[in-house]
Chains A and B, each alone.
Chain A
Amino acid sequence: MNRTEIKKPSRQVIVLNKVRAFFSKPQNTILLLFGIVLTLTTFVPVIAIVNDTFAIHPGTIDAHLTKKVTGYSVVNYVDLFTSRLAKSNLWTPLTNTVLLATFSCIVSILYGGIFAFLVTRTNLKFKKYLSSIFIFPYIMPQWTLAVVWQNVFNSNVVTGTSNGLLAAMMEIYMPKWWCQGLFPSALVLGLHYAPFAYILIGGIFRNMDANLEEAATILNTPKWKTMLRITIPMVKPAILSTILLVFGSSMGSYPVPHYLGLTTLSTKYISMNSKYTGEASILAIIMMVFGVAILMMNQVSLRSRKSYTTVTGKSGQISKIDLGKTGKSVIAFIFIILTFFTSIFPIISFAFETILPNPGDYSFLYTGNTGNLTSKWWLTRDNIAEKGMYGQQGILYNPTIWNAFKGTLYVAVCCALLAGTIGTLIGYSVSKNRRSKWANYVNSVAFLPYLMPSIAVGAAFFIMFSNERINLFNTYALLIIAGTVKYIPFASRSSLNSMLQLSNEIEEAAIIHGIPWYKRMLRIIIPIQKSSIISGYLLPFMTCLRELSLFMLLCTQGFIVATTLDYFDEMGLYAFSSAINLILIIMILISNSLVNKITGASLDKGIGGN
């Protein structure tokens, strides 16, 4: 061998060789590319929003206070934190937000956790039906339950609106704290996120080694003590990750506090945005700080989680707790009623609202006269003759609604395709380079938007892409970018999880055979992991269909369905918004069950990821 010739290669050759070796692995290319792209899409909007808090906006409070039209100042901070309005603009919303997020966590963990325990560890009846109906509230738009709450409990006497079902039918007037404010908001959000808790906690219960509890039983430990000292500590990681997810999500929720009349940072942001632009941006930053704090807690919890992974081995059969002959039916019955109200009643309620002649006119229910029902909201084609509709055509013929639907579908499909593909690729690459710091960084950056309150992410994108230089406001492009960035975590988590389960040797065997990368993905990896990869596409799609908080700042009313809803609400056409809700829910449910039937993929696989 001619060693002397190759002994001293030039530096250039060495660098070139190293670069070539680096890019010969597709996962490196993917990580490098998305690392840069995601850093830009995640951090640049944040920088833009920080910049916005110092900038002076003509025609707003900061311009008024500084008497300048351009330039920078700290007046926004000074004014927000110290002025007379500080209490109503900052401290009250902040307290409300934290309280709302905390109580939502408690509600979702209690409700979802107890349900998870009952389904996985006891001999409850009707498990199959219950567990599928239980996740409905998460699939449906957040505001569904809020609107239903209004439809049921509002009354003219207490809230000054049209009478709700209870008031109209039984003349029961619920007190104000029940109808509006913190209590209903926290309850509604808690119920909305309870499926999270159910899926995460249930996952651990399902895989938990029953021997651990049996060992305690043999040592003659009372049942309650076993529960307290062994079972609950075991699910602590799942509880923790539920808290992280629910806390961040409920903080950034706009529609629920909006409908239920609670002032939080997100509703305040919207109301302050036009006159107090700079100060509103500070609110967004406060929300982001919470998001980052949650991400850090998440990292810490992930590290400590490792000590628990040993218990999730799939050994042994789980010993089921006997609830007693009556117990198992009675408890099941209670849950059937509860889930009826959270999952099925909203659909019925919305459907019913669309055939009422006037909002709150429930006369059909006590007269039984079908003349008290109407189909005008659906079928009117003539937009002049029918007076109560403000010149709108019936739902079935209304171009605004159908255009909004098309828009929503378009955005959802694009977001799902982009987020699903990018997320899958990131998950794949991270699983290949698990030891590399860069891979972990990319993974975290991809995950960060998920923990950021959506309204803050929306605000950041609004400031970034809707100014004099770049104006993407009210374009599909902007919505798709924002949606993609926000939903990549769904796909990257589920794909990372499934890729980690796939033995490396499967792909290495293909590498050895000289099979090119794209073919390995298409013919081997994706077919094997198809169900979790599909749920990586499915989750962004469904979430996108019903997203309001993220998109509301980025487009006008009527651009997508969620913002159209608001438009009709403001006009007082409640039948229209109910119909839109109805169509949305049914569309989501149909697409969910369709995908489930065809591919076997289901939502819970994606959310359960960590």
Chain B
Amino acid sequence: MPDIKLTNVTKRWGKFYAVDNLNLDIENNSFVTLLGPSGCGKTTTLRMIAGLETPTSGRITIGDKVVFDSEQGINVPPNKRKVGFLFQNYALWPNMTVYENIAFGLSNIKEELPIYDFSFKNTVKLIEILKNDQEVVKLIRECIDKNNKIDHNRVLIKLIDVYSISESTAKALFGYKIHEVKDSRTAAKQIIDELTKKADEIRAGYSKKGQELNEECAVTEQGKVITTVRNLSKEEIDLSVRRVAKIVKIGMFMDRYPAELSGGQQQRVAIARTLAPEPTVLFMDEPLSNLDAKLRLEMRYELQRLHVETGSTFVYVTHDQMEAMTLATKICLINNGILQQYAAPLEVYNKPNNLFVADFVGNPSINFIEAKGKQQEDGTICISMLDGIKAVFVPSAAVNLQKWFEERDASEDEEILIKQKALQDKRYVEKGNKDEAFKYKITKVDNYELDMEEEKVITDEDFVIGVRPECISITEDGAIEGIIYGAMPTGMETTVKIRVGDFLLTGVIFGNVLYRIGAAVRINISSNNITLYDRKSGKYIVSGSIQIN
């Protein structure tokens, strides 16, 4: 099954590292989003997996097949990787109609497939449909326009959609004209008789040759399905096109050219084209970024549904953290070519690996509060923050800071060692786009003060506390005094900025409350999901709660 595995994949252009030593396992059936700010290498990663870009070094496997290995010189071209790719700008072929766009890829498939007898299959299908002649008549009658004439195209699309039949079969069905005769029942009966006769003849023809047709109308010999290497027949292509067109609801646009479609429709055509060959792996490169907000939301649900319906593995690139959170089973957060965190959305939200991840995920952004403190014997950490507010951080899991710092230093030393080793290799190219520690932003009333503080020496006693906006509550018995600095009510919730001393904290208060700017309030930080970071490395230490003294 197609698990995708990336090992030490690096891609650079000259000194610029687009992807730096990326290791990633994408499990079968998962919906993985590659998330990160623009230019962080997420699209490059996707294109490398698809084979559209050649990595500088590393190894990629899809399923049990090595598709790229720089050491062995293997590079399987994208058309042999059997993946689907949905481009940001859709890349519909402007010289082909919607139908041709979808069918073109299918006409190239050449695989070992069973032989189907479609004339038989369609005959059986028609008999089935005609048994319920009332419904057919009703469907056709629905397509009568105001001039009392039947709209042929609409009828065909309707028949195709309702019965999942090909265009030629739909034409045959319409051609019986049972809606024109008074007694549709007898007419249908007559046709059914004729068709049954035809079906029997076909069956007889096969049994003469010692062959049979099974339930799926595949030709069998002695109970075994006969297969040959062949292209898809016209009938199969038509059925496939109609099937995907139905999924994304574009049946009525089949004869249009891409230029004659709206952005959303083009998008859906692009999805249909990608889905038609039934890829087991589907790559999407910011497919929704060109759509308006409402349509985007709609398409998100569609994609979610598609993922469940098709059972394929989806890899999805986006810079929109909202999209990543809502769609993914797992988020892969990248910055400057380096993997920051690869985990389920809620884990990324609640336990960010470092300050960058904490800041990137969540809207409104997380509040960072600088704090100074020491671990007590009982495991809690006494801290002072926000210009002198004393508090105790209670970790929700046992943590030994001393040990944590030692481990941190050890891994840093190891990294330096690896780097030095790499530098000795002559072929090593220094990374031009250097990795820098993430500069978190402390929001203050006067922002310029920030520069002065930076010169302070940072010790192991310096921490950063991350407080999600929803963890701040305004209550009368709150421990911290503050002033409402700004408020933005949306109806469902209100985003408030609260001034505490010189600092600004963002909070989200649910419900229909109106706050007056300038009003004095008392707030509490009440949650078990307060995160604690080491200020020196920016890494996540532990989650817990804060008790303010």
Contact = CB atoms under 8 A, between A and B. Distances in A.
B108 A515 contact: yes
Contact of A524 (B83, B95, B273): B95
B376 to A, nearest CB: 48
B429 interface: no
Contacts of A18: 73
Contacts of A527: 95
B16 interface: no
Contact of A513 (B61, B88, B94, B108): B108
Interface in B59-105: 61, 64, 66, 71-75, 77-80, 82-85, 87-89, 91-96, 104-105
Interface of A: 1, 6, 9, 13-18, 21, 24-25, 435, 503, 505-506, 508-516, 519, 523-524, 527-528
A113 to B, nearest CB: 35
Contacts of B77: 21, 24-25, 511
B93 A506 contact: yes
B197 to A, nearest CB: 41
Interface centre among B13, B74, B82, B94 (most CB of A within 10 A): B74
B295 interface: no
B105 A513 contact: yes
Interface centre among B50, B83, B88, B93 (most CB of A within 10 A): B93
B83 to A, nearest CB: 7
A513 B75 contact: no
Given A17-B73, A18-B73, A21-B75, A515 B105 contact: yes
A90 to B, nearest CB: 48
A519 B74 CA distance: 25
Contacts of A21: 73-75, 77
B469 interface: no
* 10 nearest A-B residue pairs (beta carbon): A513-B105, A18-B73, A21-B75, A17-B73, A505-B91, A514-B79, A509-B91, A527-B95, A505-B87, A512-B85
A13 B72 contact: yes
Nearest to A516: B108
Contacts of A516: 108
Chain B contact-residue range equals: 20 to 34
B291 interface: no
A14 B75 CA distance: 11
A505 B91 CA distance: 5
A17 B72 contact: yes
Interface of B: 13, 50, 52, 61, 64, 66, 71-75, 77-80, 82-85, 87-89, 91-96, 104-105, 108-109, 273, 277
A512 B89 contact: no
Contacts of A509: 85, 87, 91-93, 273
A6 B72 CA distance: 9
Contacts of A24: 75, 77
A418 B71 CA distance: 40
Given A505-B89, A513-B273, 16 more contacts: A13-B73, A14-B71, A21-B77, A505-B87, A505-B88, A506-B91, A508-B85, A508-B87, A511-B52, A514-B80, A514-B108, A515-B79, A515-B105, A515-B108, A519-B108, A528-B95
A461 B110 CA distance: 48
Contacts of B104: 510, 513, 515, 523
A511 B95 contact: no
A66 B152 CA distance: 92
25 contacts: A9-B71, A14-B73, A16-B73, A17-B72, A17-B74, A17-B75, A18-B73, A21-B74, A21-B75, A505-B89, A508-B52, A508-B85, A508-B87, A509-B93, A510-B104, A512-B52, A512-B78, A512-B83, A512-B84, A513-B108, A514-B109, A515-B79, A515-B104, A515-B105, A528-B95
Contacts of A506: 91, 93
Given A15-B73, A17-B72, A511 B79 contact: yes
A23 to B, nearest CB: 10
Contacts of A514: 79-80, 82, 105, 108-109, 277
Contacts of B94: 528
A14 B73 CA distance: 5
Interface centre among A15, A21, A528 (most CB of B within 10 A): A21
A11 to B, nearest CB: 10
B64 to A, nearest CB: 7
Interface centre among A9, A506, A509, A512 (most CB of B within 10 A): A512
Contacts of B73: 13-18, 21
A503 B78 CA distance: 17
A5 to B, nearest CB: 11
A443 B446 CA distance: 57
Given A6-B66, A14-B73, A513 B277 contact: yes
B95 A508 contact: no
Nearest to B270: A509
A516 B79 CA distance: 9
Contacts of A503: 89, 91
A77 B178 CA distance: 97
Contacts of A13: 72-73
A114 B39 CA distance: 45
A529 to B, nearest CB: 10
B72 A512 contact: no
A528 B52 CA distance: 21
A511 B75 contact: no
